[in-house]
Amino acid sequence: MKFDLHCHTKEGSLDSKVPVEEYARRFMELGYDGFMIADHNSYKGCKAWDQVANDPAYEGLTVIRGMEYDTKDAGHILVILPDGVYLPILKTRGMKCSRLILLVHILGGVLGPAHPYGVSTSSMMGFKKMNPRLLKHMDFVEVFNTCELPESNRLASHLALRYRLPGIGGSDSHVTDYIGMAWTEIDHPILCNNDMIHALKFHDTVSAGGRERKMTLKGKYKEHWIGRNAYRIYNRGLGKLLSPRRGFHHLRLKKDHRHFF
């Protein structure tokens, strides 16, 4: 079965212009079996899909409800939880990666780094203080990302091989132009989140690939030191303004996991 496992929706990501139903129509036209919603610290796109999932027009399409979570110390992590599980604490960015791993695995989900060799401010291998041992507890690696450079994807593939993890592919699309530029093929029937978790956890045959986009002005800006520092200010400064009690929430999480289940 063929999937794109990294899509941002207009409903769930401020920087996306593609409604979830447009993704569904486009992927069906392209012959994909499904795609994964991976909005930034948000389930709004997933819940928007829940409202239309039973429409006969989308029969046969599998939509995975996922998330791209922004950790404090390891960049962006793709998270897939079991069917029907929406974890409220994940809407609050800035959790340590080790704590995220514990939570996701307690709930029976899987997770892995998105674009691990991408822009240093949002990619796992760009964090100098990142603990490499975290990778031993991951379930997959995004080895192909349409929005990354070929060298970044090549290094991500080597990372997956080194840790013997399945590699997935995603377009990381925020606009319609990138839909269909990446794929993940899985030799296993995938009809829901639970099936995808099983396939990644037990290493069913998974392959990934696609084609990278051309470098954009926005991409160059992200790589520039001004762009990197601007992102840090947003992530550590404005992030606290948007979620002023996130430190309190994370502290409560550390003391009592049950509060968030």
Q: Please report the pLDDT score of residue 250 as a whole number.
A: 56
**Torsion angle defined by CA atoms of residues 65, 178, 150 and 231, in that order, rounded to the nearest 10 degrees:** -70
Q: Please report the pLDDT score of residue 206 as a whole number.
A: 87
Give the total residue count for the chain.
261
Contact 64, 3 (CB under 8 A): yes
Contact 174, 8 (CB under 8 A): yes
Burial of 193 (0-12, 13-18, 19+ CB in 10 A): buried
Strands 76-80 and 110-113: antiparallel
Q: Please report the pLDDT score of residue 261 as a whole number.
A: 38
The one-letter amino acid code at 177 reads D
Gap between the Cα atoms of 77 and 97, Å rounded: 8
Edge-to-edge strands of the sheet including 206-210?
110-113, 76-80, 62-70, 34-37, 2-7, 182-186, 206-210
96: nearest Cα among 249, 209, 231, 218: 249
Q: What is the pLDDT of residues 81-98, one digit of tens each?
A: 999 999 999 998 989 999
Q: Please report the pLDDT score of residue 204 as a whole number.
A: 72
Q: Parse the chain into domains and list their residue ranges.
A: 2-260
Q: Please report the pLDDT score of residue 213 as a whole number.
A: 83
Gap between the Cα atoms of 46 and 148, Å rounded: 25
114: nearest Cα among 193, 169, 64: 169
Ranges of the chain with pLDDT below 70: 215-261
Q: Name the CATH superfamily, with its identifier, for domain 2-260.
A: Metal-dependent hydrolases (3.20.20.140)
Q: Please report the pLDDT score of residue 147 as a whole number.
A: 94
Whole-angstrom CA distances from 221 to 142, 228, 231, 237 are 23, 8, 11, 20
Whole-angstrom CA distances from 86 to 67, 90, 91, 190, 261 are 10, 8, 10, 20, 9
